[in-house]
């Protein structure tokens, strides 16, 4: 049996890219991790509210916190990471940066915390694919 995959990337990513002024996968603020669909923005805490508003507006509020995705889809965290590393799932990331001083007084930026969202459409499609594969496997086992 050939499975007609229901998973597809959320087309609203183009709306988000326009907000970020993405050109050839690059922006002054947003970068895409090589070989993935991880859209990463770094900035101070003051930019977090704007970032959340922008991604929520671009995806019509249909985003799932990254920490919930494995449970929502019904997969292991290892499966989730594998799908992301292969570039098969979109992840929107905000890295909150803070300025710290070194022992000798030099200043540098470091990541304080990451906030991540995944488009619900992609999670729903992935879950539908898994349910369909399970249904086909069960039907084949009954024969």
Q: What average pLDDT is seen over the chain?
A: 86
Closest C-alpha to 26, from 39, 36, 43 = 39
pTM of the model: 0.81
Q: Where are the domains of the chain?
A: 13-98+110-142
- pLDDT band of 107, cuts 50, 70, 90: confident
What pLDDT does 1 receive? 40
Three-state SS at 134:
helix
Query: pLDDT tens digits for 23-68?
Result: 455 555 788 888 999 999 988 888 899 999 999 999 999 999 999 9
Q: Which token pair is 85?
A: 């590393």
């Amino acid at each position: 049996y050939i499975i007609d995959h229901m998973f597809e990337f959320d087309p609203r990513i183009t709306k988000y890219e326009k907000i970020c002024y993405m050109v050839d996968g690059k922006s002054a603020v947003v970068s895409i991790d090589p070989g993935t669909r991880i859209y990463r923005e770094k900035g101070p805490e003051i930019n977090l509210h704007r970032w959340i508003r922008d991604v929520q507006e671009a995806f019509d509020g249909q985003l799932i916190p990254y920490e919930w995705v494995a449970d929502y889809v019904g997969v292991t965290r290892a499966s989730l990471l594998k799908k992301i590393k292969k570039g098969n799932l979109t992840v929107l990331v905000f890295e909150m940066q803070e300025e710290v001083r070194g022992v000798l007084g030099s200043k540098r930026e470091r990541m304080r915390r990451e906030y991540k969202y995944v488009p619900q459409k992609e999670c729903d499609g992935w879950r539908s694919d898994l349910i369909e594969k399970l249904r086909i496997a069960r039907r084949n086992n009954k024969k």
